[in-house]
């Protein structure tokens, strides 16, 4: 059974700092990995999707990497801003195409 | 292009009642998935519908059921509500059920069971 773990559960950083969020998964037979952002009480916004054959994806200040063999992904956020405050969720797609999610990392960026 | 929409936004029910949640897929999408997100947890897969048929189900009891209509909109029905059913219910649509097809999520329905 696929399990996804995200560390840390919560993170507080001053504005302008670069930061890394971690995601690990137990079964490396995945099709892709996706990072989402969730604001309180809201739905999910897709940030980056990495196919299993790819090593990384970039969008603006965000960079996500994937090491399938070790079951790890990182989300790098450069020059953090207060508007980046949200919960970040990592999800993998495998098997019957459902997404398996971690519990998320709650990020607070302090002005 | 219209994104994924869900209704209602919020809902309050009592134990033992039944509830129906609705989802309209993004234009051109024929696959809908439903997820349950309890407070402080990641979303959990309930089931997926592809062209009006259920083609995948997570670890949820039969009192969770669904439908997909010819226009690919979908319903999630929950019978005999329990307190633990209180959660944010998310619907996601995709252009197909392939491994590389991205799922686009709606804003969710917040269900509170008293």
Residue B5 has pLDDT above 60, yes or no: yes
How far apart CA A55 and CA B46 sit, in angstroms, is 30
pLDDT mean over A14-21: 97
Question: Do A48 and A37 form a contact (C-beta atoms < 8 A)?
Answer: no
The three-state secondary structure class of B83 is helix
- Give the pLDDT of residue B41: 94
d(CA A46, CA A89): 9
pLDDT at B101 over 90: no
**pLDDT for B2 beyond 70:** no
As a dihedral over the C-alpha atoms of residue A44, residue A48, residue A50, residue A56, rounded to 10 degrees, the angle is -150
User: Is A81 in CB contact (< 8 Å) with chain B?
Assistant: no
- The whole-number average pLDDT for the span A38-62 is 93
Confidence grade of residue A58 (pLDDT, cut at 50, 70, 90): very high
Which of B41, B100, B106 faces A31 most closely, judged by CB atoms?
B100
Query: What is the pLDDT at residue A1?
Result: 87
Residue A30: alpha-carbon gap to chain centroid: 15
- The per-residue pLDDT for range B35-65, each reduced to its tens digit, is 999 999 999 999 999 989 998 899 999 999 9
Q: Is B96 on the interface with A (CB under 8 A)?
A: no
Q: Are B88 and A97 in contact (CB < 8 Å)?
A: no
Is A59 at the interface with chain B, CB within 8 A? no
Distance from CA of A75 to the nearest CA of B (A): 17
Q: Which two tokens stand for residue B97?
A: 């059920």
Arithmetic mean of pLDDT, B81-106 = 90
Return the pLDDT at B28.
87
């Amino acid at each position: 059974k696929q399990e996804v773990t995200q560390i840390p559960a919560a993170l507080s950083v001053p504005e302008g700092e670069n930061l890394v969020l971690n995601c690990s998964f137990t079964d490396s037979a995945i099709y892709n990995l996706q990072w989402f952002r969730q604001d309180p009480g809201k739905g999910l916004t897709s940030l980056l999707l990495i196919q299993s054959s790819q090593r990384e994806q970039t969008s603006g200040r965000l960079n996500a990497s994937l090491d399938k063999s070790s079951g790890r992904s990182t989300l790098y956020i450069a020059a953090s801003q207060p508007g980046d405050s949200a919960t970040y969720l990592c999800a993998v797609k495998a098997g019957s195409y459902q997404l398996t999610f971690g519990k998320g990392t709650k990020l607070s960026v302090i002005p | 292009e219209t994104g994924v929409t869900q209704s209602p936004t919020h809902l309050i029910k009592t134990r033992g009642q039944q509830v129906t949640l609705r989802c309209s897929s993004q234009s051109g999408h024929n696959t809908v998935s439903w997820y349950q997100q309890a407070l402080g947890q990641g979303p959990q897969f309930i089931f997926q519908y592809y062209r009006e048929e259920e083609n995948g189900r997570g670890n949820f009891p039969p009192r969770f059921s669904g439908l997909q209509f010819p226009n690919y909109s979908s319903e999630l029905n929950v019978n005999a509500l329990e307190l633990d059913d209180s959660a944010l219910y998310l619907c996601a649509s995709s252009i197909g059920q392939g491994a590389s097809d991205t799922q686009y999520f709606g804003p969710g329905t917040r269900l509170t069971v008293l």
